[in-house]
Amino acid sequence: MKIPGAMGRKPFAGSLRLRLFILILLPLIGVAVLAGAVRYWQAQTMSEALYDDALKVVAHVVAREVIITQGDVVSDALLNSLVGVMGDPIFYNVSAADGRIVAGYTDTPDDIIPDDLRGGEPYFFDFTYNDQPVRAVVLREFIADPFFDGWTTVLVWQTTNQRRELSLIILQQALLILSLVLVTASAAVWIGISQGLRPLTDLREAIALRSPAELGAIRRVVPVEVQPLVKTMNTLFARLQAELQRRNAFIANAAHQIRNPVAAIRAQADMALSTTDPAQREARLQDLQTAASDLSRLSQQLLSLEMVSHAGISHAERLDFTALAADMARKFAPAMLAKGVEMQFNAPDQVVMVQGNAVLLREAIENLLDNTMRYGLVDGGEVRITLERIDASVRLMIEDDGPGIPMAQSEQVFERFVRLSGPDEKPSHHSGCGLGLAIVRSIAVAHGGEAHIIRRQKGCCIAFALPVAD
């Protein structure tokens, strides 16, 4: 059976320490990668701005040098100084107002300078020169000189190798710092997780000390997040301890109750085998049959009680409780008539439905009627079986006119292996083991109902109530 909401969810069966380490470290790695990317973009932007500013200064220097020399080329000493500062080869040309190049390189691509270039404002752009990417700046200045005749255009460009190297150097330094931070953070996180999970290790040791003989509550100090788990485990231990105690008490009582019938059967069988008188043998065999019947009934009651206590209701279905009670009354009618008992059955005309297990409900009614026949009838008498609906429940009452049950013991009779004393303060001579009414209450509670004694002036009235299944 698939649990809704759990589809597609795979359980993590590995180390909790490793899982926490990965869950904490992965975001750190993601942040480091993002920081590296941002740092690389910043390095590129910074190197671009630095080299662009330097390239603009070079353009002004070239312009002034050409103006001073009246169109002569820039000296090699000045170019070497500029290249030494910039790191990459520098190229230039200077154009007069009429478009003729008065100094510098003439092999630049056509139409790389925009026509709407404003005077005094630098314009930066990229292009390819001699199959290499270059960065260029162009300046247009007005020069009042007959040689230049007005607006003069200065174009300076440079390869971008040094720019990329500067960006990579800055990125490498940033990655080195981030790597050191990640390694340090990883070690700190691992140590922190190990220290943080130490209470779980102590909790594991505390659980390992528990055994079927020792299911005491765990009282070690644990973190707040683990306290609900420890509380749930302590509740489980308490339930297990109570169940083991109940089971041990049940086994001890059952063994004690079975021992006497088994011993009686063995004694009756030995006496039947040893006697030669047919009449005595017949009497012993009758006693043997009675003892075997009592043992069979005891075994059935023990199994019923354990099934209800351990498994609860299984195979529940909608049942006609009126018909079920009538069937059980008809089953016991011949035995009661044979004992001179008058039996009355009163039930409503309409069908009363309940939700439950038919086998267990029959067992409960059978125990009620059997208990009445064994202890509630003296020299005949009358048994009244009444079925009535009260609001959202149905109540089955079985009432007799026998000696009754004292109200002080009205709850005690529903306990296991409890048999009341007779009028002479001695145990009742009737056969039984004190399980019938315990089974009745267990079945009633398992079905959401109840079983109790109703006070009467004479006799005994036992009520068995269940919720109606409308």
Same-domain status, 100 and 113:
yes
Question: What pLDDT score does 424 carry?
Answer: 45
Mean pLDDT of the chain: 80
**pLDDT mean over 99-128:** 78
pLDDT score at 168:
80
The residues near 389 (Cβ < 8 Å, ≥ 6 apart) are: 348, 352, 395, 468
pLDDT at 3 over 80: no
How many residues are listed for the chain in this entry? 470
Is residue 328 located within the same domain as residue 300?
A: no
Residue entry with tokens 């039930």: 347
Is position 5 within any domain?
A: no
Whole-angstrom Cα distance, residue 190 to residue 187?
Answer: 5
Q: Which residues contact 423 (CB under 8 A, 6 or more apart)?
A: 403
Of 15-19, 53-57, 421-425, least confident by mean pLDDT is 421-425
245 shares a domain with 380: no
What CA–CA distance (Å, rounded) separates 56 from 136? 9
Residue 134 — very low, low, confident or very high, per pLDDT cuts 50/70/90? confident
Residues 322 and 456: beta-carbon distance below 8 Å? no
Could you tell me the end-to-end alpha-carbon distance of the chain, in angstroms, rounded to an integer? Answer: 29
Q: Residue 355: pLDDT band by 50, 70, 90 thresholds?
A: very high
Per-residue pLDDT at 129 = 85
Q: Are residues 91 and 141 in the same domain?
A: yes
Structural contact between residues 398 and 440, judged by C-beta atoms closer than 8 angstroms: no
Q: Which of the two residues, 110 and 400, has the higher pLDDT score?
A: 400
Domain final position from 168, 197, 232: 168
Sign of the alpha-carbon dihedral angle for 381, 395, 332, 297: negative
The two three-digit tokens of residue 459, written as one number? 């006799």
Based on the domain organization, do 459 and 318 belong to the same domain? yes
pLDDT 10s digits, 432-450: 567 788 888 988 998 899 9
CA–CA separation, 427 and 431 (whole Å): 10
Sequence-ordered list of residues with C-beta below 8 angstroms from that of 240, at least 6 positions apart, any chain: 215
Paired sense of beta strands 381-390 and 341-346, if any: parallel
Per-residue model confidence as pLDDT tens digits over 50-103: 888 888 888 888 777 776 666 555 666 666 676 766 777 888 888 777 677 777
Asked if the structure places residue 400 within a domain, the reply is: yes
Residues 271 and 377 in one domain: no
- What's the rounded mean pLDDT across residues 226-250? 83
Which tokens is 291 given?
């003892």
pLDDT for 417: 72
Q: Does some domain include residue 203? A: no
Q: Is the pLDDT of residue 409 over 70?
A: yes
Q: Do 41 and 162 belong to one domain?
A: yes
pLDDT for the residue 116: 73
Instruction: Give the pLDDT of residue 319.
Output: 92
Q: What single-letter DSSP state applies at residue 456?
A: -
**Residues 278, 320 within the same domain:** no
Give a yes or no: residue 132 inside a domain.
yes
Q: What angle do helix axes 227-274 and 278-311 make, rounded to 10 degrees?
A: 170
> What is residue 102's predicted lDDT score, i.e. its pLDDT?
74
Task: Examine the pLDDT at 33 and tell me if it is beyond 80.
Answer: yes
Q: What's residue 431's pLDDT?
A: 55
User: Do 345 and 289 lie in a common domain?
Assistant: no
Q: How confident is the model at residue 422 (pLDDT cuts 50, 70, 90)?
A: low
Q: Which of 168, 189, 220 is the last residue of a domain?
A: 168
Q: CATH number for the domain including 118? A: 3.30.450
**In the predicted model, what is the mean pLDDT of residues 368-387?**
86
Last residue of a domain, one of 311, 346, 381: 311
* Any domain includes 408: yes
Mean local confidence (pLDDT), 367-395 = 88
What is residue 440's three-state secondary structure? helix
CA distances from 233 to 83, 170, 243, 261, 311 (A): 78, 56, 15, 42, 22
Decide if pLDDT at 281 tops 60.
Answer: yes
Radius of gyration of the chain (CA): 51
Q: How confident is the model at residue 17 (pLDDT cuts 50, 70, 90)?
A: confident
Q: Is the domain of 295 the same as that of 342?
A: no
Name the residue with higher pLDDT: 208 or 258.
208
Question: Residue 12 falls within a domain, yes or no?
Answer: no
Range of weakest confidence among 294-303, 334-343, 373-382: 294-303
Q: Are residues 355 and 449 in the same domain?
A: yes
Structural domain count, the chain: 3
In a domain, 241, yes or no: yes
Residue 383 clears pLDDT 90, i.e. is over it: yes
Lowest mean pLDDT among 90-99, 115-124, 258-267, 296-305: 296-305
Determine the Cα–Cα distance for residues 386 and 372; give it in Å rounded to an integer.
14
Domain extent, residue 440, equals 313-467
> Over the stretch 208-222, which tens digit does the pLDDT of each residue have?
888 877 888 888 777
Most confident option among 137-151, 168-182, 246-260: 168-182
**Can you give the CATH number for the domain in which 235 is found?**
1.10.287
**Which has the closest alpha carbon to 220: 208, 211, 195?**
208
CA distance to 36, 197, 327, per residue, from 182 (Å): 12, 22, 80
pLDDT above 70 (res 465) = yes
User: In this predicted model, which residue has the larger pLDDT, 395 or 130?
Assistant: 395
The one-letter amino acid at 381: G
pLDDT band at 310 (very low <50, low <70, confident <90, very high): low
Model confidence at 452, in pLDDT bands (50, 70, 90)?
very high
Residue 194 lies in a domain: no
Does 218 lie in the same domain as 278?
Answer: yes
